[in-house]
Amino acid sequence: MESIKLDISKAVQFLNPGAVEALAPQVAAAQEALENGTCPGNDFLGWLHLPSSITEAFLNEVQAVADTLREKCEVVVVAGIGGSYLGARAVIEALGNSFAWLENDRKNPTILFAGNNIGEDYLYELTEYLKDKKFGVINISKSGTTTETALAFRLLKKQCETQRGKAEAKDVIVAVTDATKGAARTAATQEGYKTFVIPDNIGGRFSVLTPVGLLPIAVAGFDIKKLVEGAQVMEQETANDVPFAQNIAARYAAVRQALYAQAGKKIEIIVNYQPKLHFMSEWWKQLYGESEGKDLKGIFPAACDFTTDLHSMGQWIQEGERSIFETVISIEDPNRKLLFPHDDENLDGLNFLEGKRIDEVNKMAELGTLLAHVDGGVPNIRVSVPTINEYYLGQMIYFFEKACGISGLIQEVNPFNQPGVEAYKKNMFALLNKPGYEAESKAIRERL
């Protein structure tokens, strides 16, 4: 089997010669600190050897619960936010047929997502849609207290119980949460839901290979064994004993750091040329944004879907402030084949493309954009992925996680906490008059 590849040749030309290699000692120190558990955030390193620690028996257990939901539900709503939903959504959307949700005769349950916003219209429309559906819920929250998720779960639980009866609802509601703490655990224990534990030492954004991601992905009908297998291979290929020159996670972390610290590139745009990868980019954005953006430091992670966004963001990227670099996820071979047809009248003047794969046009757009952006002063990193399937998504997930851990440490931040996320919550609770927030409530109103 092949592996994903990293090409930094179009990025190093913006750096002093040897700048990436010069970071090898710092990268090695970060790798060692991760391995020995001597880095900041060392109580959150459970993801590091997670792939190789997953047993077949555990995957069978996840699959068995997924099979029950698949059998009993036409729709499964995944309630979760941030790291408790983005990974699952990224994989499900990357692997799924873009139009399957429009078909009446589906072989897989439709997976919907809630608890990741507080949009009243969204929740109203969701509950309306679910009215005549046999639906189940996967309630995912490590803390078990996240407002967005808890709010959606209360609505969904009530509706599920009303529509199916409490006894049947119990069999189609699953909680993925802390082993002992939080409201999600309390509800699960009281109601007798099937549960999976999110290990204490794995933070949300590093949890896609726990049941947080694995259960929804299996319910959607995808092969979680292949996903984990891909991650296991990448765990080996990015291990500390793999030399810097061949270690793609080490090199990606180093080139990002060199671009940031030496070339003033403060923004990284993750780019895909496949609409199915939109949520992979969203997952990546959270992984890097929440891990690195602290202590007044951090590369700002942005995302663009090309060629779509070449018609909206292309101008800025080509000629705006030169503070950006791009990381392109390039899919070598799409799963489907579609040839461009002949047209006798050639009214659109496109007969020169006759007989070519649509992907060839996409690839030439990708190469043309690469050269144009490099000419315009945008360093380009390329992650080549043989095709979109479970195995390579597993590789990508672990590759980006490992590089993120290294990268945060060489930026000298704790990549595994997110203290800044609490600020908005505190203000929101004060404004909502949550018991215990009386003093903040008065003070905050005076500022408005």
Taking the complex as a whole, the smallest distance from the CB of residue 415 to ligand PA5 amounts, in Å, to: 11
User: What are the start-end ranges of the E strands in 332-379?
Assistant: none
From residue 289 to residue 328, what is the string marking binding to ligand PA5 with x (rule CB under 6 A)?
-x--------------------------------------
- Distance from C-alpha of 396 to C-alpha of 53, rounded to nearest angstrom: 18
With CA atoms as reference, report the closest residue to 45 among 440, 416, 409, 397: 416
- Stretch 26-45 residues interacting with ligand PA5 (CB under 6 A): none
Left if phi > 0, otherwise alpha if psi is -120 to 50, otherwise beta: which for 75? beta
Mode of pairing for the β-strands spanning 5-7 and 380-385: antiparallel
Stretch that binds ligand PA5, among 123-131, 136-144, 271-279, 296-304 (CB under 6 A): 136-144
Taking the complex as a whole, the smallest distance from the CB of residue 186 to ligand PA5 amounts, in Å, to: 14
Range 226-249 burial, b when 16+ CB lie within 10 A, else e: ebbbbbbbbbebbeeeeebeebbb
Q: Looking at beta carbons only, is 204 or 211 nearer to ligand PA5?
A: 204
Collapsing DSSP to helix, strand or coil, 24 comes out as helix
Torsion, CA 50, CA 54, CA 58, CA 60, rounded to 10: 120
Q: Looking at beta carbons only, is 176 or 253 nearer to ligand PA5?
A: 176
Q: Looking at beta carbons only, is 136 or 144 nearer to ligand PA5?
A: 144
From residue 381 to residue 420, what is the string marking binding to ligand PA5 with x (rule CB under 6 A)?
-------------------------------------x--
Q: Looking at beta carbons only, is 147 or 351 nearer to ligand PA5?
A: 147
Stretch that binds ligand PA5, among 94-102, 116-124, 203-211, 299-307 (CB under 6 A): 203-211
Q: Is-catalytic flag, 332?
A: no
Stretch that binds ligand PA5, among 81-89, 155-163, 257-265, 393-401 (CB under 6 A): 81-89
Size of the site for ligand PA5 (CB under 6 A): 14
Contact residue for ligand PA5 among 205, 251, 285, 382 (CB under 6 A): 205
Whether 79 and 114 have beta carbons less than 8 Å apart is answered as: yes
**Apex 22 CA angle, 19 and 24, nearest 5:** 125
Per annotation, catalytic residue among 425, 426, 438, 442: 425
Q: Looking at beta carbons only, is 210 or 418 nearer to ligand PA5?
A: 418
The token pair that represents 10 in the structure block: 């179009």
Q: Looking at beta carbons only, is 87 or 379 nearer to ligand PA5?
A: 87
Taking the complex as a whole, the smallest distance from the CB of residue 416 to ligand PA5 amounts, in Å, to: 9
**Apex 110 CA angle, 189 and 229, nearest 5:** 75
- Distance from C-alpha of 74 to C-alpha of 71, rounded to nearest angstrom: 8
Helical axes 278-292 vs 390-410, angle rounded to 10°: 20
Taking the complex as a whole, the smallest distance from the CB of residue 137 to ligand PA5 amounts, in Å, to: 15
Q: Looking at beta carbons only, is 83 or 408 nearer to ligand PA5?
A: 83
Collapsing DSSP to helix, strand or coil, 196 comes out as strand
Cis peptide leading into residue 307 (ω within 30°): yes
Phi and psi at residue 379, to the nearest 5°: -60, 145
DSSP string, 275-325: GGGHHHHHHHHHHHHHHH--TT--PEEEEEETTGGGGTTHHHHHHS-S-EE
Contact residue for ligand PA5 among 3, 146, 257, 369 (CB under 6 A): 146
Collapsing DSSP to helix, strand or coil, 420 comes out as helix
Q: Is-catalytic flag, 426?
A: no
Contact residue for ligand PA5 among 46, 204, 213, 301 (CB under 6 A): 204
Contact residue for ligand PA5 among 149, 195, 327, 411 (CB under 6 A): 149
Stretch that binds ligand PA5, among 8-16, 60-68, 135-143, 332-340 (CB under 6 A): 135-143
Q: Is-catalytic flag, 290?
A: yes
Binding region for ligand PA5 (CB under 6 A):
81-84, 141-143, 146, 149, 203-205, 290, 418
Q: Which residues are catalytic?
A: 290, 311, 425
